Amino acid sequence: MSTIPVQFPATRMRRMRRDPFSRAMVRENTITSSDLIYPVFIVDGVNQRQPISAMPGIERLSVDLLLQVAEECVSLGIPVLALFPSIDASLKTADGIEAINPDGLIPRAVRALKARFPELGVLTDIALDPYTSHGQDGLIDDNGYVLNDETTTMLIRQALCHAQAGVDVVAPSDMMDGRIGALRQAFEEQGYIHTRIMAYSAKYASAFYGPFREAVSSAASLGKSDKFTYQMDPANGDEALREVALDIAEGADMVMVKPGMPYLDIVRRVKEEFRVPTFAYQVSGEYAMIKAAVQNGWLDHDKVMMEAMMAFKRAGADGVLTYFALDIARLLKAKA
């Protein structure tokens, strides 16, 4: 770095920090509502609103209520909603077959959203965990090992089912090898040449997903099992770059790092190495930590929320999936 070695008192770093106008002049990063992707949990039924205990302020919503949230996203300039289903235990099976039901919860939600708000982007998660009786993201063998290629075949069917319903972006979050390439090929063959793929490329086996597993009711199914044979070891950084390189080569339009704040070094490395649209997921546990501290009176909600978001931007993220998306966008609008 070519830092000019001018010394005190010629250089007084505090000079530019003195007033709001000069702080604004030299501010390197900004937050806008278009940086936000809002993850929502959905359930069957009408007028359903179910709180999630470890995620204060977040509820599972039935599709009719989801439409009200979508309307607010449009008015606030949030470009895209990410859908996660919580399905009834009676629909969960070892093979997660409900994931490919064309009249399932997700395809119905996609159709309803695209009919009402065609300008709002809709993103769906591709993985089997909300649908499997064992809570894993894929099909398992007799030893509980998650099978790669067999799972990929199911994931392709799931993604095609969402594409047929009109989804704009699919986001495979399962970490199987080779599924981005298989998916891209299937999309091309079936004429879904506009359907975007956001690959959860560097997804770590993280304990920060705890509250999410309650939200999609996969925690009980998963029990004491873990996802270490497919999600990444938190000790590794170089491996994330290999994962991202593979997904780009296989046809991903965007890549993602997950979790977010504890992995900002990975966000930065991915962005610098590949210069592709790079997203981060501020996951459920990160949200829960901030909310819990706020409830205790230990942190200032809005200030911490915005500082965390700015940290993602500074690290190089082009956008962030965050449960704070509505709160952030409302705050930006109030200040405008």
Ligand X SMILES: NCc1[nH]cc(CCC(=O)O)c1CC(=O)O
Residues in 211-230 at the binding interface with ligand X, rule: CB under 6 A: 212-213, 227
Supply φ then ψ for residue 199, to 5 degrees: -85, 125
Task: Label residues 159-177 b or e (16+ Cβ within 10 Å = b).
Answer: bbbbbebebbbbbbbbbbe
What is the distance between the alpha carbons of residues 188 and 228, in angstroms, rounded to a whole number? 32
Q: How far is the CB of 44 from ligand X (least distance, A)?
A: 19
Q: Which is closer to Mg ion, CB of 208 or CB of 230?
A: 230
- The CB-nearest residue to ligand X is 212
What is the distance between the alpha carbons of residues 260 and 263, in angstroms, rounded to a whole number? 5
Q: How far is the CB of 288 from Mg ion (least distance, A)?
A: 27
* DSSP 8-state assignment for residue 145: P
Q: How far is the CB of 174 from ligand X (least distance, A)?
A: 6
Confirm or reject binding of residue 137 to ligand X (CB under 6 A). Answer: yes
Return the closest-CA partner of residue 55 out of 81, 84, 96.
84
# chain residues binding Mg ion, by CB under 5 A: 1
Q: Which is closer to ligand X, CB of 226 or CB of 273?
A: 226
Return the closest-CA partner of residue 167 out of 119, 110, 94.
110
- Virtual torsion, Cα 157, 44, 46, 54, nearest 10 deg: -120
| Amino acid in position 132 | T
Q: How far is the CB of 148 from ligand X (least distance, A)?
A: 15
Confirm or reject binding of residue 250 to Mg ion (CB under 5 A). Answer: no
Per-residue contact string for residues 269-288; x = within reach of ligand X by CB under 6 A: --------------xx----
283 interacts with, out of ligand X, Mg ion, none, CB within 5 to 8 A per kind: ligand X
Which sequence positions are flagged as catalytic? 203, 258
Please choose, out of 207-215, 298-306, 311-319, 328-336, the segment that lies near ligand X by the rule CB under 6 A.
Answer: 207-215
307 annotated to bind ligand: no
Q: How far is the CB of 324 from ligand X (least distance, A)?
A: 12
What is the distance between the alpha carbons of residues 100 and 76, in angstroms, rounded to a whole number? 32
Please choose, out of 158-166, 181-189, 206-214, 324-332, the segment that lies near ligand X by the rule CB under 6 A.
Answer: 206-214
**DSSP codes, 122-140:** EEEEE-STTTBTT--SS-B
Cβ count within 10 A of residue 262: 14
What is the distance between the alpha carbons of residues 163 and 143, in angstroms, rounded to a whole number? 33
Please choose, out of 121-129, 176-184, 245-253, 307-315, the segment that lies near ligand X by the rule CB under 6 A.
Answer: 121-129
Return the closest-CA partner of residue 267 out of 308, 311, 306.
311
Confirm or reject binding of residue 127 to ligand X (CB under 6 A). Answer: yes
Q: Which is closer to Mg ion, CB of 167 or CB of 252?
A: 252
CB 39 within 8 A of CB 321: yes
243 interacts with, out of ligand X, Mg ion, none, CB within 5 to 8 A per kind: Mg ion
Confirm or reject binding of residue 243 to Mg ion (CB under 5 A). Answer: yes
The first and second tokens of residue 146, run together, are 């998650």
The binding site for Mg(2+) consists of: 243
Which residues of this chain interact with ligand X, rule CB under 6 A? Answer: 125, 127, 129, 137, 173-174, 209, 212-213, 227, 283-284
Which residues of this chain interact with Mg ion, rule CB under 5 A? Answer: 243
